[in-house]
Amino acid sequence: MKTIEVDEELYRYIASHTQHIGESASDILRRMLNFKSAQQPVPAKEVSVAPLASQDVPVMNTKVVAQNPVRVIRELLLSDAYAEKNKAIDRFMLILSTLYSLDAKSFESATESMHGRTRVYFAGDEQTLLAAGKQSKPRHIPGTPYWVITNTNTNRKRSMIDAIMQEMNFPANVIEKVGNTI
């Protein structure tokens, strides 16, 4: 597997076409380009890319319909996509994306009042987080319109997830299991 670099805007555009949690970028691109593995690649000069109509952050179409949120979280913890995440920050970001996809309104409610003594943890744009702390290392939460600071220690990341999951009414044992995996 080859690694390529894409700018943030293109990454968000690709991520906005995710159809299920854990879908790889390769799978998304294959679907978007109607590309089958037996096909020959098209030379780069023949590919045309339409510019995005809006500068708004696209949101993934990953609505979990009629599924039990506890089951979705448990499946995430057992998934290959989650197991492949070697860093706490990557697991943290995947959990945040999943929680948002389960219930965007509850996620918004839980994050809007979450802040430290001098820092804002979540915001709708990078500049808001940078204004609250130049070294906050904000990152976009894939599939959401939100950004989160990432230069907190792992225990702070756990407590942020705990607070969101409590607000979303997850059982204590599930919250504990998620926290132990970060």
Express each pLDDT in 66-119 by its tens digit.
Answer: 468 999 999 999 988 898 999 999 999 999 999 999 999 999 999 988 877 778
Q: What DSSP element (H or E) covers 129?
A: helix 126-132
Q: Which residue in 167, 153, 142 sits closest to 16, CA to CA?
A: 142
Q: pLDDT tens for residues 144-166? A: 999 999 998 999 999 999 999 99
Q: Name the strands in the sheet holding 147-148, side by side, starting at the edge strand that comes first in the sequence.
A: 122-123, 147-148, 139-140
- Report field, pTM of the whole predicted structure over 0.75: no
Q: Are 60 and 68 spatial neighbours (Cβ–Cβ below 8 Å)? A: no
Cβ 100 vs Cβ 109: under 8 Å: no
The rounded distance, in Å, linking the Cα atoms of 102 and 79 is: 17
Residue 43 lies in a domain: no
Domain annotation covers residue 166: yes
Q: Please write down the long-range contacts of 46-54, taking CB distance under 8 Å and 24 or more positions apart.
A: 52/9, 52/13
Distance from C-alpha of 43 to C-alpha of 142, rounded to nearest angstrom = 29
pLDDT at 150: 92
Domain count, the chain: 1
Within a domain: 145: yes
Rounded to a whole number of angstroms, the distance between the first and last alpha carbons of the chain is 26
CATH at residue 122: 1.20.1380.10
In a domain, 36, yes or no: no
- Domain of residue 146 covers 69-181
